[in-house]
């Protein structure tokens, strides 16, 4: 029998002598599992090791390599110290240990907690282990959030990167100190704006003098910085100046908690409303004095112009320059509204940039929309499907009601198992009593999970059937005969628009529309 050994360590590797070496804990895991394999006369096919990764991280390199090799049946057994070393997610336990491994003919064994897929009756123990590990993940996430929130409320900087103009204090963790070289640029930006210079003009002045933007400055000075999502550039942009002018960190206030995670299982963050931000005053030395700050904030408010629906704000953050990929900015000239590349006037070496009238772009979008409607929509055919769609809507509502009921009951079963487990831990019931009492909960939960899976599959099928007809029906009713675009329409219909430069000879330009449907 060939065995694949899997090891994982989630703690920081403080006991490593060299960063490229394994930590001592990993070495201990390997020694123990190799010895266990020898005692059972198993041939070690290979050792898969992920050092400094959490059990909820699905992107562990050797973990995914192990799964790939398991699917190809390069070995017969997966051996771990504990089930939690393989994964802490109940979903992954069910998917791989109880699902894919069975399908691939792979046996799973963990030494310390006696999990073994070859032992009949062992499945419930593995599920309980998975459930406990799931609770551990959720509790750990809540604890970490609580600690981080407490640090933020105490004005401790917990970000990975210091704001341009500051450095992380090497002598006091969580404290910022002024980076005088960068701070001079920050003071200059605020001073120039207070004297009436616009944001584009300030960016151009800095670029003409060869001053690197914040990201390039940090790269040149060997500081940690966030990799840009768009094309990398060393130039100052309008938005860099705009964001700098309203950042309270420059007056000594610590502003954190602008984003929050959507789930303890996901690394995706979403923006939080401003009232939920955590602001602590006077946590570090200010770069900008209060008098200059107040004067700049007053000017920023005065210069802010509300978007006019159908004109200046119609394509806000939707139109991009084809040359450099940056969002186009709005401007007004002689009563007409235009869009221009945001880098067009920030440097002599900047992108030559696209330029287009908002009215011209609107006409182009409307024409393309009508063309799509004429080609792909058939009102007569669609009307025949309206009745069918109404019946499907009733069916979907019923499935959603059933699904909500099943999920509620399944949650109650999970709480019942958790309560029984806590009673076992407290010594109120024995292990045998726990297994006996939890049988009904497990049986009901498995039945409910089956009903949930069936309902979700039915819901997906009904939704898919409805989607095409529903989308087309809405298009016909709302967008076929429109005379003018509105901002809500643009949000609904368009992902982004790439605008190219106008050809001086043909007077034509390329416009590439990326629709949301």
Q: What is the pLDDT along the chain (517 residues), one digit of tens a residue?
A: 899 999 988 643 444 444 444 445 677 788 889 988 998 999 999 999 988 787 777 888 999 999 999 999 999 999 998 888 888 777 788 889 888 998 999 999 988 777 888 887 666 665 666 555 566 556 655 666 777 778 888 888 988 889 999 999 999 998 999 999 999 999 999 999 888 888 888 988 898 889 999 988 998 988 877 665 555 567 888 888 988 999 999 999 999 888 776 555 555 667 778 888 889 999 999 999 999 999 999 888 876 544 443 334 788 778 888 877 777 877 777 778 888 886 665 555 556 667 888 888 888 888 888 777 666 555 444 444 545 555 667 777 888 888 888 888 878 877 777 777 777 777 777 777 777 777 777 777 777 787 787 778 777 777 766 665 555 555 545 566 677 887 777 877 788 888 888 887 887 888 888 877 6
For position 478, what pLDDT does the model report? 59
Q: How far, CA to CA in Å, does 165 sit from each of 33, 56, 222?
A: 51, 36, 14
Contact 25, 68 (CB under 8 A): no
For position 131, what pLDDT does the model report? 58
User: Is 302 exposed, middle or buried, given 0-12, 13-18 or 19+ CB atoms closer than 10 A?
Assistant: exposed
The string of DSSP letters for 408-469 reads HHHHHHHHHHHHHHHHHHTTSS-HHHHHHHHHHHHHHHHHHHHHHHHHHHHHHHHHHHHHHH
DSSP 353: -
Is the whole model's pTM more than 0.75, yes or no? no
Contact 207, 346 (CB under 8 A): yes
Q: What is the spatial distance between Cα 26 and Cα 18, in angstroms, rounded to a whole number?
A: 14
Q: Which residue has the tokens 């017969």?
A: 76
For 133-171, the pLDDT digits (tens) are 566 556 655 666 777 778 888 888 988 889 999 999 999
For 315-357, the pLDDT digits (tens) are 877 888 887 777 787 777 777 888 888 666 555 555 666 788 8
Contact 10, 51 (CB under 8 A): no
Nearest to 491 by CA among 471, 517, 470, 461: 517
Classified as helix, coil or strand, 84 is helix
Sheet harboring 336-341: ordered strands across?
328-333, 336-341, 355-357
Contact 326, 343 (CB under 8 A): yes
User: How many separate helices (H) and strands (E) can be counted in the chain?
Assistant: 15, 17
For position 13, what pLDDT does the model report? 40
Angle at CA 159, nearest 5°, toward 157 and 164?
A: 90
Q: What is the spatial distance between Cα 247 and Cα 57, in angstroms, rounded to a whole number?
A: 34
Distance of CA 28 to the CA centre of its chain: 35
Contact 6, 78 (CB under 8 A): yes
Contact 50, 63 (CB under 8 A): yes
Q: What is the spatial distance between Cα 325 and Cα 352, in angstroms, rounded to a whole number?
A: 12
Q: What is the spatial distance between Cα 92 and Cα 99, in angstroms, rounded to a whole number?
A: 9
The stretches of 93-235 forming alpha helices (DSSP H) are: 101-104, 123-153, 180-194, 199-208, 214-220
Q: How many residues does the chain have?
A: 517
Q: What is the spatial distance between Cα 109 and Cα 83, in angstroms, rounded to a whole number?
A: 8
For position 464, what pLDDT does the model report? 67
Rg (CA), the chain: 30
For position 175, what pLDDT does the model report? 93
For position 124, what pLDDT does the model report? 61
The string of DSSP letters for 455-505 reads HHHHHHHHHHHHHHHHHHHHHHHHHSS-SS--HHHHHHHEEEEEEPPPPTT
Write phi, then psi, for 221 (nearest 5 degrees). Answer: -100, 10
Q: What is the spatial distance between Cα 129 and Cα 167, in angstroms, rounded to a whole number?
A: 44
Q: What is the spatial distance between Cα 287 and Cα 179, in angstroms, rounded to a whole number?
A: 10
Q: What is the spatial distance between Cα 387 and Cα 151, in angstroms, rounded to a whole number?
A: 58
Angle at CA 486, nearest 5°, toward 483 and 488?
A: 135
For position 269, what pLDDT does the model report? 66
Q: How far, CA to CA in Å, does 98 sit from each of 103, 122, 435?
A: 9, 11, 19
Q: What is the spatial distance between Cα 6 and Cα 83, in angstroms, rounded to a whole number?
A: 10
User: Is 222 exposed, middle or buried, given 0-12, 13-18 or 19+ CB atoms closer than 10 A?
Assistant: exposed
Contact 47, 31 (CB under 8 A): no
Q: What is the spatial distance between Cα 284 and Cα 178, in angstroms, rounded to a whole number?
A: 9
């Amino acid at each position: 029998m060939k065995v694949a050994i899997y090891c994982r360590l989630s703690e920081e590797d403080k006991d490593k002598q060299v960063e490229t070496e394994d930590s001592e804990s990993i070495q201990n895991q390997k020694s123990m599992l190799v010895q266990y394999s020898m005692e059972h006369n198993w041939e070690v096919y290979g050792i898969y090791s992920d050092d400094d990764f959490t059990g909820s991280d699905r992107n562990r390199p050797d973990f995914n390599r192990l799964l790939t090799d398991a699917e190809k049946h390069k070995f017969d057994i997966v051996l771990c110290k504990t089930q939690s070393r393989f994964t802490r997610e109940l979903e992954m336990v069910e998917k791989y240990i109880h699902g894919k491994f069975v399908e691939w003919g792979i046996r799973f064994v963990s030494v310390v907690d006696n999990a073994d897929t070859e032992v009949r009756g062992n499945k419930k123990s593995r599920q309980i282990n998975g459930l406990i590990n799931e609770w551990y993940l959720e509790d750990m996430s809540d604890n970490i959030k609580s600690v981080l929130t407490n640090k933020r409320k105490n004005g401790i900087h917990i970000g990975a990167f210091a704001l341009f103009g500051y450095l992380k204090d090497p002598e006091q963790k969580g404290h910022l100190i002024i980076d005088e070289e960068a701070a001079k640029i920050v003071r200059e930006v605020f001073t120039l704006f207070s004297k009436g210079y616009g944001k584009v003009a300030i960016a151009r002045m800095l670029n003409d003098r060869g001053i690197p933007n914040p990201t390039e400055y940090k790269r040149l000075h060997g500081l940690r910085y966030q990799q840009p999502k768009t094309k990398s550039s060393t130039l100052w942009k309008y938005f860099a100046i705009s964001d700098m002018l309203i950042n309270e960190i420059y007056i000594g206030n610590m502003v954190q908690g602008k984003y929050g995670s959507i789930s303890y299982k996901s690394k995706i963050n979403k923006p939080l409303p401003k009232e939920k931000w955590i602001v602590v005053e006077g946590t570090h030395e200010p770069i900008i004095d209060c008098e200059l700050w107040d004067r700049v904030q007053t000017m920023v408010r005065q210069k802010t112009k509300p978007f006019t629906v159908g004109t200046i704000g119609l394509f806000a953050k939707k139109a991009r320059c084809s040359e450099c990929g940056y969002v186009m900015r709005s401007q007004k000239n002689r009563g007409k509204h235009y869009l221009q590349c945001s880098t067009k006037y920030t440097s002599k070496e900047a992108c030559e940039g696209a330029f287009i009238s908002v009215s011209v772009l609107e006409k182009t979008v409307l024409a393309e929309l009508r063309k799509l409607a004429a080609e792909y929509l058939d009102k007569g055919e669609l009307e025949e499907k309206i009745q069918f769609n109404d019946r499907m809507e009733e069916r979907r509502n019923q499935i959603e009601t059933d699904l909500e009921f099943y999920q509620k009951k399944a949650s109650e079963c999970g709480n019942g198992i958790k309560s029984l487990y806590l009673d076992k831990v407290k010594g109120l019931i024995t292990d045998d009593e726990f297994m006996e009492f939890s049988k009904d909960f497990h049986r009901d939960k498995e039945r409910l999970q089956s009903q949930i899976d069936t309902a979700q599959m039915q819901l997906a099928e009904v939704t898919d059937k409805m989607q095409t007809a529903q989308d087309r029906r809405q298009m016909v009713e709302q967008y076929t005969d429109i005379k003018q675009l509105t901002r809500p329409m643009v949000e609904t219909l368009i992902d982004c628009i790439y605008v190219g430069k106008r050809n001086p000879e043909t007077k034509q330009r390329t416009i590439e529309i990326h629709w949301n449907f």
